[in-house]
Amino acid sequence: MSEDVIVTLVGTAGTICGVVVTQLFSATKNRLEAYRLAQEMQADNQRLWQWNRALVDHIYKGLGPPPPEPPADLFDHD
C-alpha cells in the first residue's frame, strides 16, 4: 500500500514539475519574441523619422521632383 502512495506522489510531483517547466519555457519564449518585435518596430520608426526629415528638408529647400526615396530596408523583416 505504501509503495502505491509513493509512486503516486512521485508521479504527481513529476507532472507538476513538468507543467511548471513548460510554462516557464513558454513565457520566456513569448517575452523574447515580444522584445524582438519591439526592436524591429523601433528600428522602423527611426527609419521613418529619417525619411520624413529628408522629405521636410527637401520641401523646405524648395527642391523639385523627385522627392527623396524611402530607405531600402524599411519594413524588411525576416
Domain ranges (residues) in the chain: 1-71
| Confidence at 78, pLDDT banded by 50, 70, 90 | low
- The answer to whether the bond into 70 is cis (omega within 30° of 0) is no
Scanning the chain, the segments in alpha helix (DSSP H) are 2-60
Q: What is the Cα–Cα distance from 26 to 12, expressed in whole angstroms?
A: 21
Q: What is the Cα–Cα distance from 20 to 22, expressed in whole angstroms?
A: 5
Q: What pLDDT, in 10s, does the model give residues 9-65?
A: 999 999 999 999 999 999 999 999 999 999 999 999 999 999 999 999 999 999 988
pTM over the 0.75 mark: no
DSSP tag of 62: T
